[in-house]
Amino acid sequence: MHRYRSHTCGALRESDIDQTARLSGWVHRVRDHGGVLFVDLRDHYGITQCVADPDSPAFAEVEKFRSEWVVRIDGKVRRRPAGTDNPELPTGMVEVYIKEIEVLGPAAELPLPVFGEQEYPEDIRLKYRFLDLRREKLHQNIMTRGAIVDSMRKRMKEQGFFEFQTPILTASSPEGARDFLVPSRIHPGKFYALPQAPQQYKQLLMMSGFDRYFQIAPCFRDEDPRADRLPGEFYQLDVEMSFVTQDDVFAAMEPVITGVFEDFAKGKPVTKNWPRIPFAEAVRKYGSDKPDLRNKIVMQEVSEHFRGSGFKVFARMLEDPKNQVWAIPGTGGGSRAFCDRMNSWAQGEGQPGLGYIMWREGGEGAGPLANNIGPERTAAIRDQLGLKEGDAAFFVAGDPEKFWKFAGLARTKLGEELNQIDKDRFELAWIVDFPMYEYDEENKKVDFSHNPFSMPQGGLDALKSQDPLTIKAFQYDIACNGYEIASGGIRNHKPEAMVKAFEIAGYGEQEVIDRFGGMYRAFQYGAPPHGGMAAGLDRIVMLLCGTTNLREISLFPMNQQAMDLLMGAPSEATPKQLKELHIRTNLPAKG
């Protein structure tokens, strides 16, 4: 017999009854039922119930077992007594009568429980992550992650893509976040950067004639952490294709992402034919560039109903042509208590409030706004929004450029409060026609609003003749249930257009050559039209595992302060290490 096991803890079935089995694993829990000891023995594959009664030669040793001891158990497989079977376990029809045991690894008192799924402080969970990963739900999430990666790889290869690995030590690039810098020992005073994404390399692969590339790529960004973005590193399904239009990218990737979701949706509906929603429309209807389409609330502009009305606050705002009034319909929200609660919520979000109209029995409008604008205008708003008695509408006003994100938050809040969100489905959509540039208020300059390597719609002519803030890009995202899960674009592959695009954002030609020399040179020697995207593996896994925190689907994540509590990173370098790198630290004074 094998030194440690003849079967795993998930393998035994009724067909194994009367056999002698050897199992090794962790003591999940011990139960004492009237002097009979039941040991739930667990390994990666499952749980087997093992039994010792006072007649068992190992009974005295089993009495010493504690949670998470690693033990070997030899015994006879037998049918569980009538009425004690457990159909929820694959091994639930049998048990092992213990004849011999060996303690392979005793465990000290546990800093957190493994049995059960009770909440525990995150810092303890991360410090003892090896224990946390033994817990059933987290363990299963990690296995699901691996299966999702397998599904992605399989589907990409079926679509004719080839997998490549790009360098980890590279040059700094303006991807929109801070780089992690790596000092060079061989070249004192110079630094490598960890890639924020393999953007330049995958484009260079297209210059090299490889045609269809993908990679499950590690990416590194020195960003502040949040629940849906891990500090330090993340993984993405990175994709690039040659001789393609935007439609070609969509046609290739839509079945891949849809298929992966269908594989792991556990029967929940997944969008078959993805809508394509222009950025401006997404902002206008949903107040988000990553709208949650499970929420059926659609915002509408209702400026005309307030223009010249008795509600002077809105009427005066509308004298400025850039200002608008948007309505957020609230089906079933037509009670004073609910409307006041929404108003208080808006104040908690830093807003002066949230105006509203309620429609009472008979369809008459009520509330301060209704009283000020009169019954005709109130009825017109109700008709435009398709509302009825018992419903309400909430209003935001001003410059849409400044209030659309708050309007989106209000739409989400209303959807949650009024049960307008069908949470048992995955709604996928392309968001298209992103603006090429935006105005950076802090630095008082025009800057890229998205990926700087995207092709502007209209090409070089648009860069030369249009107001930069009106130029749209061949840039697109994939939205799912309120999250951006992928971003991509058709690339700007013409040197002159590339230089001009960066020039508008304040980069001189020489700076472009210095910073992106490899790609700039490659464009001089026959660059094919190309495009691609990158899908966030971590967020996709998070959605499919039904959690809202990326730490629940990652093996060894950092905490909210970007610290690895398990390994003790970041840590101080030794004087010898710093000397070899020709680095001297200049730490801030301790307050």
Task: Show the tokens assigned to 347.
Answer: 């104040």
Helix 537-544 to helix 246-264 angle, to the nearest 10 degrees?
40
**Residue 440 annotated as part of some ligand binding site:** no
pLDDT score of 560: 87
Do residues 499 and 512 make contact, with C-beta atoms less than 8 angstroms apart? Answer: yes
Q: Which range is least confidently modeled, 63-77, 170-184, 343-357, 530-544?
A: 170-184
Band the pLDDT of 227: cuts 50, 70, 90: low
Q: Are residues 536 and 509 in the same domain?
A: yes
Residues 321 and 461 in one domain: no
pLDDT category at 217 given cuts 50, 70, 90 is: very high
Whether 450 shows a pLDDT value over 90: the answer reads: no
Which CATH number belongs to the domain containing residue 61 in this structure?
Answer: 2.40.50.140
**Sign of the C-alpha dihedral, residues 374, 377, 381, 386?**
positive
Q: Is the pLDDT of residue 226 over 80?
A: no
Residue 125 located in a structural domain: no
**539 is annotated as contributing to ligand binding:** yes
One domain, residues 467 and 404 = no
Q: Tell me: do 27 and 84 sit in the same domain.
A: yes
List the domain range (segments joined by +) for residue 82: 14-105
What percent of the chain has a predicted confidence (pLDDT) above 70? 99
Question: For residue 197, what is the domain's CATH number?
Answer: 3.30.930.10
Residue 190 pLDDT > 70, yes or no?
Answer: yes
Based on the fold, state whether residues 91 and 151 are members of the same structural domain. no
Domain end (from 397, 417, 437):
417
pLDDT of residue 363: 76
Instruction: Kindly state the tokens that stand for 1.
Output: 């017999």
Q: Are residues 192 and 247 in the same domain?
A: yes
**Could you read off the pLDDT of 307-340 as tens digits, one per residue?**
999 999 999 999 999 999 999 999 999 999 999 9
Residues 512 and 475 placed together within one structural domain of the fold? yes
CA–CA separation, 390 vs 376, rounded Å?
18
User: Is 491 annotated in some ligand binding site?
Assistant: yes
Q: What is the mean pLDDT of residues 185-209?
A: 95
Mean local confidence (pLDDT), 280-297: 97
Q: Are residues 175 and 260 in the same domain?
A: yes
Residue-wise pLDDT for 550-590, tens only, equals 999 999 999 988 999 999 999 999 999 999 999 999 988 88
362: left (phi over 0), alpha (psi -120 to 50) or beta: left
How far is Cα 430 from Cα 475, in angstroms, rounded to an integer?
10
Is residue 399 in a domain? Answer: yes
Let me know if residue 159 belongs to a domain. yes
Whether residue 73 sits in one domain with residue 21 = yes
Residue 170 included in any domain: yes
Q: How confident is the model at residue 458 (pLDDT cuts 50, 70, 90)?
A: very high
Does 538 appear as a known binding residue?
A: yes
**Residue 348: inside a domain:** yes
- Asked whether the predicted pLDDT for residue 228 surpasses 80, the reply is no
221 is in an annotated binding site: yes
Q: Which of 105, 128, 147 is the last residue of a domain?
A: 105
Closest CA to 472 of 440, 431, 519: 431
- What sign does the CA torsion over 130, 134, 135, 140 have? positive
355, 385, 417 - which closes a domain = 417
Q: Is 509 annotated as a binding residue?
A: no
Least confident range of 20-24, 298-302, 445-449: 445-449
Mean pLDDT of the chain: 94
Which pLDDT score, from 0 to 100, does residue 175 have? 55
Q: How far apart are CA 450 and CA 492, in angstroms?
A: 13
Examine the pLDDT at 519 and tell me if it is beyond 90. Answer: no
Phi, psi of 295 (to 5 degrees): -80, 115
Are 347 and 260 part of one and the same domain? no
| CA–CA dist 429, 477 (Å, integer) | 8
Which pTM was predicted? 0.92
CATH code of the domain covering residue 391 = 3.30.1360.30
Instruction: Compute the distance between CA of residue 559 and CA of residue 423 in angstroms, rounded to an integer.
Output: 28
Token pair of 260, please? 């992966």
Alpha-carbon distance 318 to 325, whole Å? 8
Report the number of distinct structural domains present in the chain: 3
- 458 labelled as ligand-binding? no
Tell whether 247 is in a known binding site.
no
Cis peptide before 218 (omega within 30 of 0): no
Q: Are residues 334 and 463 in the same domain?
A: no
Number of DSSP helices (H) and strands (E) in the chain, helices first: 19, 22
Read out DSSP for 106-137? Answer: -----SS-SSS-----HHHHHHTHHHHTTSHH
Is pLDDT at 451 greater than 80 in this prediction?
yes
Same domain? 561 vs 434: yes
Mapped onto helix, strand or coil, the DSSP state of residue 445 is strand
Mean pLDDT of 111-133: 93
222 is in an annotated binding site: yes
Domain annotation covers residue 284: no
